[in-house]
Chains A and B, each alone.
Chain A
Amino acid sequence: MPYLTESFVAAVLVTIALVALVALRPSLVEARGGRVLAFLALCVLPLLMSAIGVSAQVEHSKSTAFCLSCHVMEPYGRSLHVDDSSYVPAQHFQNNRVPRGEACFTCHTHYTLFGDFKAKLRGLRHVYVNYLGTIPQKIELYEPYNNRECLHCHAGARSFEENDVHKEARAELAKNATSCLECHDTIHNVRGLAGVKMWKEGKP
């Protein structure tokens, strides 16, 4: 359980204890101190807890488990375990080039000022579509994948900068004129996963 979640649950338990105290002994509000306690327990703390809870839930929504909990995302989760380093997401996931617990979010957020916020808004839309909308047959990105997301980590890395092909195309890559995916073109490839060998963690 992440730190924020643990703290939230502990704070909620304290708040519930205070709420129970006021609800079971309403005569407390006859005194000034009791009225303050009731105001804290029945108004301030519950609103504060709910606001912190929203923040914790939004943090949860970054997790790989959260993204893959929707049925339609299962093949994308499987693609992270393909035993073939030409699969870009699998290579990043299996070699800890992205945090495994937040693998989807790490590559699919936008590294801009409001990138995380926009990613979370899109996530809310996905929740809506999952329950009340029509899930599209083919899952596609909203816009072509931006090199900015790759360069957020790779720019400045020796393995990237000293590569001859990258050196030649460096300016175009930075301008997004040439997509990284033009060369690194095996991404999730979910339609071709049927006969592919899968990596089993801990087994050579």
Chain B
Amino acid sequence: MTIANPKLTRRLQLSGLLVGLGLAVEALTMAWSHPTAFLAFLLVGGTLVALGVLLYLYAIVSA
């Protein structure tokens, strides 16, 4: 199922992918009590989530 604006569709899907991956990384790091897990949470999970959210916001303002 797609919407009239294919660009918006692609951006929403990419945003969803980034946010989903970021959240999955954040959840996985909870299983490990180690400074590496803390850094992975912030640098990998946090960055993916931030990129996904920014892409979503860009997608809705540019649609």
Assembled-state Cα–Cα distance A98/B5 (Å): 60
Assembled-state Cα–Cα distance A49/B49 (Å): 10
Interface majority SS on B: helix, strand, loop or mixed? Answer: helix
B residues near A (Cβ < 8 Å) are 1-4, 8-9, 12-13, 15-17, 19-20, 22-24, 26-27, 29-31, 33-35, 37-39, 41-42, 45-46, 49, 52-53, 56-57, 60
Residues of B within 8 A of A39 (CB): 60
Known A1-B30, A16-B20, A19-B19: A27·B2 in contact at CB below 8 Å: yes
Known A12-B23, A23-B20, A57-B29: A42·B8 in contact at CB below 8 Å: no
Q: Which 4 A-B pairs have the closest CB atoms?
A: A23-B16, A42-B56, A27-B1, A12-B27
The total number of A-B Cβ pairs within 8 Å is 113
Assembled-state Cα–Cα distance A1/B27 (Å): 12
Interface majority SS on A: helix, strand, loop or mixed? Answer: helix
**Shortest beta-carbon distance from A58 to chain B in Å:** 9
Residues of B within 8 A of A3 (CB): none
Residues of A within 8 A of B1 (CB): 25-27
